[in-house]
Structure 1
Amino acid sequence: MFYIGIDLGTSAVKLLLMDSDGKIVNIVSKEYPLYFPQPGWSEQNPQDWYEATVLGIKELIRDVDKSQVAGISFGGQMHGLVILDEDDNVIRPAILWNDGRTGAETEYLNRVIGKEKLSAYTANIAFAGFTAPKLLWVKDKEPENFAKIAKIMLPKDYIAYKLTGVHCTDVSDASGMLLFDVKNRQWSKEMCDICGIQVSQLAKCYESYEAVGTLLPQAAQELGVPASVKVAAGAGDNAAAAVGTGTVGDNMCNISLGTSGTIFISSKQFGVDSHNALHSFAHADGSYHLMGCMLSAASCNKWWMDEIIGTKDYATEQQSIQKLGENHVYFLPYLMGERSPHNNPDARAVFLGMSMDTTRADMTQAVLEGVAFALRDSLEVAKSLGIRLERTKICGGGARSPLWKKIVANVLNLKVDVPESEEGPSMGGAMLAAVACGEYKSVEEAAERIVKVVETVEPEPELAARYEERYQYFKEIYPACKPLFHA
C-alpha cells in the first residue's frame, strides 16, 4: 500500500509518497504565493494551498497503482488563522504564523489577562504568531468579518476539510492556538470566552494518528484514487518533523533548520517552563513536547544569499569558510522578530563586529553561527529545567549543509544524528497515515521500523570550547539592543 504525506509549508507544499516498508517512492513540491499587504504582515490564500496540493498529489502518484493508495496525512505550518462562514467559504486571507500585526493583542493577553492565567488555561503565554491574538485582531479591526465566523481552522486542517468535508484538527497543531488546554488535550472554554468565540466554532480535535474520515467522492474522483482512502488528522509541522525523524518517546530531541528553526524535545510527561520561554505542546505520538521556536533560521541564509549577496550557489559560498570558532562578526537572526526565548516581535536582525578586514565569508559564517547561537538560547532554557541531552536529530533545508551541521553540533555541544530522509514533516505525515491505516500499531513502532540514522556529526572538544566563548558574548548582544528595537 501507499501513504501520502503532505507538508503544507509557507512557500510551498511538499508531498511525499511512502510504501508499506517506509521507503520513499516519490517527492513533489508545488509553490504558491505569499503576500505582505503591510510591513510585518504575512498572508496566504487557502485556495492556493488546496489547488497546489491537488496538482501535487496527481503528479506524485502518476506512475503508481492508484488503487493502492491507502492513506493521507499532514504536517503543516502552525498558528495560521483560517476562518470560514456558515457556507464554509473562506472569509479573508489566512493570517500566517510569521505575521507580526498582533503586538497590541499579544500585550493585552499577557498583561491584562495575565501570563499566569494563560499558562494555567493553555500551558503557554501569548506570542504574536499564535492564533488567539489573530482572532482578537480580526474582532477589533475587522468586526464585519468576525461576525461571519462559523469555523476557525488551521492551514493543514483546511486541506483535510476540503478532502473529507470534516472540520478537524489535531492535538499538536491545536496546542499552538492559545485556545487549547494542552495538559487535558481539549479546548479551553476560558480562552474561548476571552476571545469572544464559542467552542462549537472550533474544529473537532483528534490525536494526530487518528483517521478523521475518508475522501469525499468528488475529491477521490479528482485525485484518481479510491474513496476509501483514509485521511488522518496529522500534526503541526514541527511535531510531524519529529515523527519523521523518529523523535518520539521520552527525552528525544530534533532540530529543524527550515524557514523557521526549532529545537523540539519529546517527553512522556506534561511539563511547563515557568517563564514560558519554551512552548509546551501535545505531541503527535500521544504524549507531550517542549519546543523553542525561532522565526527565521534557514530563511536567514536564504535572505543573505539571494537578496544581499545575489547568488543561489549556497555551497560555493560556504566553501571558503575555514576558521570555525574564530569569527569576530556576530549576527542576530531576528529578521521577522523573535519568538523563543525572547517573545519580541519588534526584534530585528543585527550584524555586529565588522572591521576593515571583514570578508564576505565572515558575514556568511556569522549568519550560520547566529542561527545556531539562537537555537542554543532555547537549549539553555531546557537545561534550566533539568533536561540533559547528549544528541539530537536534524532536519530541514539547512540540514543539507555539512558546514551548518558541524556548526550546530559544536555550538550546542551535541551529537547530531542525520536521518536517512531529510523530509521531516512530509515523512511524518506519511507515517501518521500508515498508523491510521493499521500498517503500524503506534507512532513509536513506525519510527522504530522506518527511521534510520546514516551519519552522526560529533562535536570536537576544542571547537566546542571556542564556540562556548563566542556564545557567552553572543547572548549579551540582544539585551543590549533590546531598548533600541522598542524605540
Structure 2
Amino acid sequence: MSAAAPLFIGLDVGTQSVKLVAYDPASRRIVATHGQPLELIAGNDGSREQHAQWWIDAIAACFGKLDPAQRAAVAAIGVSGQQHGFVPLDADGNVLAPAKLWNDTSTSGECDEIMSAAGGEANCVTLAGNPILAGYTASKLPWTRKHRPEVYAKLATILLPHDYVNFWLTGQRWMEYGDASGTGWLDVRTRTWSREMLAATDADTNLADFLPPLVQADASFAIAPGIADQLGLPRDVIVAAGGGDNMMAAIGTGNVAPGVLTMSLGTSGTLFACSDTPVVDENAGWAAFCSSTGGWLPLICTMNTTVATENVAKLFGFSSRDGESVLEGTKPGADGLVMLPFFNGERTPNLPDARASLHGMDMGNLTRGNVYRAAMEGATYALRNGFDALRAAGMSFDWIRLTGGGSHSATWRQMVADVFDLPVQVPEQAEGAAFGGALQALWAFERANGRDTTIAAIARDHVRVDASTAARPNPDAVAAYATHYQSFLTFLDSAQRLYAPHPDPAR
C-alpha cells in the first residue's frame, strides 16, 4: 500500500447508477466522488432486469476516474448493492442470465406459490420473520425454473448483486446477514437459512447447496491480484463483507444504535431503524431484516419515490433538477390533488399489481406544479403509512436522518418534517449507501489489523450532519398535512380493495 494516507472506497451499485466515494478518515473528507449511469431492461409484465456486466463496467469506469495517486492509496473497499436481486452463476462462475432486480414484480404469482407451500403468509413470518413479497429473491427462483429452464438446470450459485461484485473483486463467494435476510430464506431470529422456506421454494432441490457461506459484518477478504492490477489498486487491498443498500445507508447515516430513524428518498423509499434484538411483526407490517453491523434493521420499503416525481417531470417536459422552481406557489395538499404513486406496483402495503392514480382533479388545480407536488406528497404519505406501523409497535424517534436523491430538495426536506412532525437532519455525505460502504471498509480494515474498533465508534467519529439543511416542523403545515394525509389513506383503502393480492388460504 502507498505511504500516503489510506483511502477507503465505498461502492453503491444501485438501480440507476453506480457511485464511488473515496474517503480519507484522517482528514474526515470525501476526496473523490464519481458515478456512472446504468441502463434498465423493463418489460410490460413488470420485469426489471440488468446485466451484471453493466455493474462491473460501471465500477471500472468509476475507478478509472480516480487520480492514480488516489488509487495507489486505497486500503479497503466496501460494496453496497440494491437488495433482493438474483444473479445466477454456473459452476465456473459465469453469469447465466440477466439479474432480476428488487423492483421486478413479474414474480408476484410465485410469491403466492411459495407462501402457500410454506403454510401461508403468517407461517412464513413464523418460520423466517418475513413473508415472500414481490421483488424478494426467493420468488425469482421458481420464475426462472418456469421461464428459463436452461438457466435453472445449470445453476450452481445464487448471489445477490453486491455478492456478485464481491465475487468479481475477490474470486470468493459469500453473503452477509443483512442482505441475506432480504432473500426471504433467512430466519432472521436465528440468522440461519430456513430449511422450510427453501423447500417451499423448490421441494425437489436442496437450495442450500447453491447458497454461499454466511459471514459476519466485519469480515474481510483479499482482492484478487488480477482485479487489483486491472483497477490500478495495490494488491494488499481488502474487501469488506458489504451489504444491501439500506444496510449500508444505515451505517452512512449513523443509524447504528437504537433511537435513530433513517429515511431514504431514492428510486424506492425506505424507513429503517436499528435494534439490538430481532423486530418481527406477526402481521408483516415491515421487513424484519438483519443489519450489516451485527444487529437488526426493521425496515419499511415503498417502491415508488423519485420514480413518481421523475415520471411527472417527464410528462410535463421539465427536469426534476428544476423541481424547486416548478413547486413555487404551491401549498401543502396540492390544492386537493392526491396521488397514489404506484407506478411500479407497491410493496408496503403489499399491492404488487397496483397502478398509480391521481385523485381530486378539478378545473382549477390541474397544474404541473400541483401534480408534481402531489407526486412528492404521495411518495411521502406512503412512507408515513409505514411509519405508523412502527409507531404502533411502540417505537419512538427524535430525529429523521434523510438520505438519497430526494434529500437534495429543500421542499422535500420540509415536507418530510411536516408530514412526520419530526425534525429532519441531512448527513453531510448525502450518498449514504456509498459512504456507509466506505465506513464498513474502514471497520473491516481496523479489525483485520487487530484493533477492536466498533462500528458505533466509527459512525460517531465520521458521520456528521449538515446544519444548513436541517428542517423543523412548521405547525401550520403539520396541521394541514394531517388532514391531507387522511385523504390519502381514504384513497389508499380503495386501492387496497381494488388491487388486493390473492387471499392467503391459511388465514
Taking structure 1 as the reference length, the TM-score comes to 0.96
Deviations 1:306-347 (A, max 9, x none): 24434354245444244224630001111101111x111111
Give the aligned partner of residue 209 of structure 1: 218
- Where 1:105 maps in the other structure, the secondary structure is helix
Cα distance in 2 for partners of 1:244, 1:13 equals 16
Cα distance in 1 for partners of 2:344, 2:166 equals 29
Cα distance in 2 for partners of 1:200, 1:460 equals 55
What are the residue-to-residue correspondences of 1:18-417 with 2, within 5 Å? 18-21=23-26, 22-60=28-66, 62-113=67-118, 114-196=120-202, 197-211=206-220, 213-325=221-333, 327-340=335-348, 342-358=349-365, 359-417=367-425
Cα distance in 2 for partners of 1:261, 1:407 equals 15
Q: Is the 8 A contact 1:277 1:343 kept in 2?
A: no
Q: Tell me which amino acid in the other structure corresponds to 1:7.
A: D
1:442 lines up with 2:454 in the alignment? yes
The counterpart of 1:452, out of the listed 450, 464, 467, is 464
- The root-mean-square deviation of aligned C-alpha atoms, in Å, is 1.7
Cα distance in 1 for partners of 2:307, 2:218 equals 30
Cα distance in 2 for partners of 1:66, 1:482 equals 51
Task: Kindly state the Cα deviation for residue 220 of structure 1 after the two structures are TM-superposed.
Answer: 0.9
Q: Tell me which amino acid in the other structure corresponds to 2:99.
A: A
Q: Tell me which amino acid in the other structure corresponds to 1:85.
A: D
1:482 lines up with 2:490 in the alignment? no
Q: Is the 8 A contact 1:279 1:292 kept in 2?
A: yes
Cα distance in 1 for partners of 2:371, 2:207 equals 50
Deviations 1:189-229 (A, max 9, x none): 22222223331211222233321x11111101101111110
Runs of 4+ more than 3 Å apart: 307-313, 315-319, 482-487
Structure 1 unaligned blocks of 5 or more: none
Q: Is the 8 A contact 2:176 2:243 kept in 1?
A: yes
Q: Tell me which amino acid in the other structure corresponds to 2:78.
A: S
Q: Tell me which amino acid in the other structure corresponds to 2:353.
A: D
Q: Is the 8 A contact 2:126 2:282 kept in 1?
A: no
Give the aligned partner of residue 3 of structure 2: none
- Where 2:274 maps in the other structure, the secondary structure is strand
Q: Which stretch of structure 1 is more off in the superposition, 412-421 or 425-434?
A: 412-421
Cα distance in 2 for partners of 1:161, 1:457 equals 41
Q: Tell me which amino acid in the other structure corresponds to 1:151.
A: T
Give the aligned partner of residue 475 of structure 2: 461
Q: Percent identity?
A: 34
Cα distance in 1 for partners of 2:326, 2:263 equals 21
Cα distance in 2 for partners of 1:443, 1:308 equals 45
Cα distance in 2 for partners of 1:198, 1:486 equals 30
Q: Tell me which amino acid in the other structure corresponds to 2:307.
A: S
Cα distance in 2 for partners of 1:41, 1:321 equals 38
Q: Tell me which amino acid in the other structure corresponds to 1:474.
A: F
Q: Which stretch of structure 1 is more off in the superposition, 311-320 or 187-196?
A: 311-320
Structure 2 unaligned blocks of 5 or more: 1-5, 502-507
CA shift in 2, pair 1:191/1:484, >3 Å: closer
- Where 1:147 maps in the other structure, the secondary structure is helix
What are the residue-to-residue correspondences of 1:421-432 with 2, within 5 Å? 421-432=429-440
Q: Is the 8 A contact 1:326 1:466 kept in 2?
A: no
Q: Is the 8 A contact 2:423 2:473 kept in 1?
A: yes
Cα distance in 2 for partners of 1:18, 1:277 equals 36
Cα distance in 1 for partners of 2:44, 2:328 equals 38
1:16 lines up with 2:28 in the alignment? no
CA shift in 2, pair 1:326/1:194, >3 Å: closer
Q: Which stretch of structure 1 is more off in the superposition, 218-227 or 427-436?
A: 218-227
- Where 2:76 maps in the other structure, the secondary structure is strand
- Where 2:335 maps in the other structure, the secondary structure is coil
